[in-house]
Each structure stands twice: as structure tokens, then as C-alpha cells.
Amino acid sequence: MRLFEKIADSIKEAINGKFISIEKPHNLPADMSILSNDFNLLLESYKETFTDIDKKLKYFIGQTTSKESQTPLDESKLIITNLSNLYQFKKEIEQDQTKDEIYDRLAQVLKNQFHLKYFTIIETNLKDEKRVIIKQVGNLNFCCTTSTGNPSLCRTARTSNDVISVDFHNSCPCFTNTNYYYYCTSININKNIIIVINFILETKDELQKLKDNIPFIKSYINEAAPSIEVKILLKALKDSAFRDGLTGLYNRKFLDEYIKKSIPQITRDNKKLAVLMLDMDHFKAVNDEYGHDIGDMVLKELAVILLDNVRESDLVVRFGGEEFIVILNNIDSAESALSVANKIREQVSLNEIDIYAGTKLSKTISIGLSIFPDDGKSFDSVCKNADIALYEAKNKGRDQVVLFNQTQVSSIDLF
């Protein structure tokens, strides 16, 4: 009976995750002694097996602590369940086409699986010194608004360490709200881009629950990071193919793709677009006198002015060298296009560029303007007509806008 009681007590402890060998009572019959030894061997085998599983699973997900209320078996089952969900998550994000889809999927996991009500996913670009809110769940976000243009103000992004609400002092100088708690974690996507996730909690119990789950949460973030990096690299590769390396404007290759799609739509809708062919006056003299670095600076300044003076629906293209094309979509009339062109011309002439030691440089541009479909039935013909008008503007003394008309074709010898 004493042996039975010891075995019963040991089984109860084993159910709670404690594998304790029994001490054999004295003077046991041989068969009962063999039973006791086998029972102890079984407990030792279970203990070694569960300890090994526990260590390997925790190492796999990066977890180092466990809840005292959970048995090793329960905890292992929880880890295995999370790993299964993590595997499904990984397979899904591999099929997502954009990084926004991956961010949305990550937000769904945080909200639905971990029951987090308030969090913000922020993409920080150290090179451009920008912080962009990618996804916000709930209406609580207490990050510094000034850190949008200064990523170094974010302690998590700066240190690459988790920043957590603590008693008696404030870990994050940006978080000044005393009614809530916070937990911020981050991951480096590459040397320039860091993803920061800011969690807001309403109670200490919620904060503690998040701390318990953070190893699992980080597993999802770690799985998402490579896929996000791939999407960023693919976008950068695509941009490099369609953007000018100096000014960041779209290039001629992008213009060709853009026109293939937009001209049929313009024709169906019976609308018009204006083509502004513009060229910087005496640009060669800038390179000759000041060098190509200053010439590049002048071109970048011109690109900024062009973007600032057209609508988002319009298109600005560096066509080559100091020549640019501006596409004004859905214009009302040639007069409205002329108004935009003259505004651009005036802004360029008024702009002063600091080149060195207080020396300022001002430049002018000449613009040729042609309207589709009024001046040509194809985009190529309209571009040629805009180029003819540009030649006319140069011929008339530069720093002016000339609207194409048919008489220019016979009056200008292009070849």
C-alpha cells in the first residue's frame, strides 16, 4: 500500500510537469521492486524527453521564460500550435505580391491570434530620415510627431532594443500618456530600413500577457522581414529601371509604357493632354564654367520645381541630358496648359541656386507646347511638334513658352 501511495503521488506530480522518482519502501517483494525500478526509469525517460523537447522548441522560437502555471507538456503543445500557425503564415506571405499585403497579414495575426487592440507598424528609413506609418490598428498612437523626420528620436529604432513601460521612470521620452502602457519592438530589414511596432496596452495585465507572448510575436515579425525586404528590393529594382538616377524623375522607358496605357484612355474619354518639351538654356556653359557637380545640382533643382508646379495626376520625365518632358493630363484648353508652362518658366528664372561660398546661380528654360490630339493623331507626332515649338522658343531668344502651330514646320529647318 505504501508503494501504491508513492506511485499515486508521483503520478499526480508528473501530471503537473514534475517527474519525481519514488523511494522504494524497505523489504519489497522482488516483483514489486522490479515494478518500482521500471516506474522510476519511465519517469526519468519522460523527464529527459520533455526537457529536451522544451529546450529545443524554446530555442527555435527564441523563448527563454515560461509560465509557472503551465506544465511542460501544455507549454510544448502551445509552442507546437504556434509553430504550425507560423508555418501557415510563412506560406501565405510567400504568395503575397506587395509588402503592403504582408503588413496587412501581420496586422491580422497580431489582432486575431494575440488579441492586440492597439498597435502601429512604422517603417523607418535611416537613409532618407523618414518614418512612415504603414498600418495602425485602433486609434491610439502616442509616438512623437517630430520623430517623423528624425528617426533618431525613436529609442527603439536607435538602439534596436525593446522599449517597455516601467514603473517610476519613463523609458521612452516620447510616450507621455500616463493612462496607458506601451511595448515597442523593432527589426532591421536592411542597413537602412527598420520596422518598429508600437503596442499600446490598457492595463498591466495586458502588458504582462504581451510580454509572455512576445517570443511568438517576434517569430512572426522575423518570418515577415525577409519577404518584406524582397518586396522592397524588387520595387527598388523596378524604380531603377523606370527612374532617372540623378533626379529621381521617371525616365524615357517609363514614358513609353505610360503612353501605351494612357493614350487609348484619353482617346476613349475624348479628352486632351498637353506635352511640354523643355530645355535649360545655355546648360553647357554651367558644366564648362562650374563643373558637372554644379550642373547636376542645377538639374536636380529643376526637377524639384517641375514636381512642385504640376498636379499629382501629371507626369514629369527626364527625357535626356538637360531636356525634360511634362505631361499635363485632362487639360481644359491650350490656354490652361500655357498658364502652367509659364508658371514653371517663371519659377525657374526666379530660383537662385547656392553653388559655393555665397555664389548664387540663376538659370532659365525654354518650353515648347503641343496638344494631343489637336496637334497630332499620335503621341510621337505631338512630341515632335512640341520639340519644333521648343526650337522656335530657343530661336526667339530663350526663356519663353511657344505653343506649336503648323506654320513652324515650314519655317524651321530641323535637319
Q: Residue 55: CB partners within 8 Å, gap ≥ 6?
A: none
Cα–Cα nearest to 151, from 176, 179, 132, 178: 132
Query: Could you confirm whether 48 is annotated as catalytic?
Result: no
**Peptide bond before residue 373 is cis, with ω within 30 degrees of 0:** yes
The 3 state secondary structure assigned to 109-154 is: HHHHCCCCCEEEEEEEECCCCEEEEEEEECCCCCCCHHHHCCHHHC
CA distances to 136, 154, 220, 221, 329 from 103, rounded to whole Å, are 10, 20, 11, 10, 33
In whole angstroms, give the CA distance from residue 273 to residue 372. 5
CA distances to 152, 185, 214 from 160, rounded to whole Å, are 11, 8, 15
Q: 189, 170 in Cβ contact below 8 A? A: no
Dihedral angle at the C-alpha atoms of 344, 394, 385, 295, nearest 10 degrees?
-60
Selected catalytic residue, list 322, 323, 346, 352 = 322
Cα–Cα nearest to 238, from 226, 246, 250: 250
In whole angstroms, give the CA distance from residue 395 to residue 402. 11
Look at residue 355 and give its three-state secondary structure: strand
| DSSP conformation letters of 155-198 | HHHHH-S-EE--SSS-S-TT---SS-EEEEEEEESSSSEEEEEE
| Catalytic annotation, residues | 322
